[in-house]
């Protein structure tokens, strides 16, 4: 009941590392499924989903299960109405129609979204508007790290995302507590230098976890497991580092894994046998 995968799969810079250099974009998800049985869909944060895309995902895969990051209009802009909600849900309707392939909706808030009465009210609104669907919430502001918030999250039907990220002042890390119906873990890497000071967004996630770091994360995941379905997604995606770490963590949990040749060749100095 511990499922490990990646935050996104359609990265061009994964060609030559995780993916063969010749792989066509349309076949990436089919190749991804050879190694993982869960994936987090992130493009839906930047643009509204279209049913055709999810029909294609489902048609090209056999067992892959999907978590979907909600559009930024719901978490960063926070100015959505009934039209935006309907458009988003229509876009992922093919996935929702195949209940066994749908994991959850991910609501990831920015660090500027602090623990205030107004923002609690907004969470309550989201809970009502997406009632009946599995949903998880990720806070970036450390102001949410308090017991009453965990009680609130559970009462509203969310599960709390446990986060690994750089130890930067004000950033929510952990809290490594099991809150809600499922466990959901996002691992962003620990590139403190580039978290705020970067030219390109990918630089923030340019990080490769070491063996010792992965072993420590494994212990934390086992501690919160509590028999619940537990989903772990690596978001340190630059050049396929997240895919490599995900495979390594699967191996630490006793799964037999095969690491693609490109990943071995690129990061051989950081691999362990």
Contact 158, 127 (CB under 8 A): yes
Is it the case that residue 269 has pLDDT exceeding 90?
A: no
Is it the case that residue 209 has pLDDT exceeding 80?
A: yes
Neighbours of 119 (CB within 10 A): 17
Cis peptide before 75 (omega within 30 of 0): no
- Overall average pLDDT of the 101-105 stretch: 98
Cβ-proximal residues to 85 (8 Å cutoff; 6+ apart), any chain: 74, 129, 130
The structure tokens 């935006």 sit at: 84
The structure tokens 């420590």 sit at: 216
Is it the case that residue 101 has pLDDT exceeding 70?
A: yes
User: Could you tell me the domains of the chain?
Assistant: 2-270 (3.20.20.410)
Q: Is the dihedral of CA 88, 90, 91, 93 positive or negative?
A: positive
Neighbours of 72 (CB within 10 A): 16
Q: What is the pTM of this model?
A: 0.96
The mean pLDDT value of the chain amounts to 96
- Overall average pLDDT of the 219-243 stretch: 96
- Overall average pLDDT of the 21-38 stretch: 96
Is it the case that residue 273 has pLDDT exceeding 70?
A: no
The pLDDT score that the predictor gives to residue 271 is 60
Q: Is the dihedral of CA 186, 192, 195, 201 positive or negative?
A: negative
Q: How far apart are CA 107 and CA 123, in angstroms?
A: 10
Q: How far apart are CA 24 and CA 205, in angstroms?
A: 24
């Amino acid at each position: 009941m511990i499922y490990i995968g990646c935050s996104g799969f359609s990265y061009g810079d994964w060609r030559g590392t995780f993916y063969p250099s010749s792989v066509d974009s349309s076949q990436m998800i089919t190749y991804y499924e050879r190694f993982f049985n869960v994936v987090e869909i992130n493009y839906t944060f930047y643009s509204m989903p279209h049913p055709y895309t999810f029909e294609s995902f489902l048609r090209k895969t056999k067992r892959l299960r999907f978590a979907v990051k909600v559009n930024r209009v719901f978490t960063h802009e926070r100015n959505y109405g009934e039209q935006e909600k309907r458009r988003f849900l229509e876009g992922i309707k093919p996935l929702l129609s195949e209940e066994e392939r749908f994991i959850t909706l991910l609501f990831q808030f920015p660090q500027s979204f602090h623990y205030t009465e107004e923002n609690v009210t907004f969470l309550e609104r989201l809970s009502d508007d997406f009632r009946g669907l599995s949903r998880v919430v990720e806070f970036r502001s450390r102001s949410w790290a308090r017991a009453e918030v965990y009680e609130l999250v559970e009462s509203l039907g969310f599960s709390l995302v446990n986060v690994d990220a750089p130890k930067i002042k004000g950033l929510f890390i952990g809290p490594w507590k099991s809150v809600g119906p499922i466990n959901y873990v996002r691992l962003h890497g620990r590139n403190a230098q580039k978290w705020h000071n970067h030219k390109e967004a990918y630089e923030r996630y340019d990080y490769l976890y070491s063996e010792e770091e992965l072993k420590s994360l494994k212990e934390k995941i086992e501690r919160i497991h509590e028999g619940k379905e537990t989903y772990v997604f690596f978001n340190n995606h630059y050049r396929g580092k997240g895919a490599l770490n995900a495979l390594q963590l699967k191996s630490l949990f006793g799964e037999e894994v095969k690491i693609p040749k490109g990943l071995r060749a690129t990061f051989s100095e950081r691999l362990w046998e």
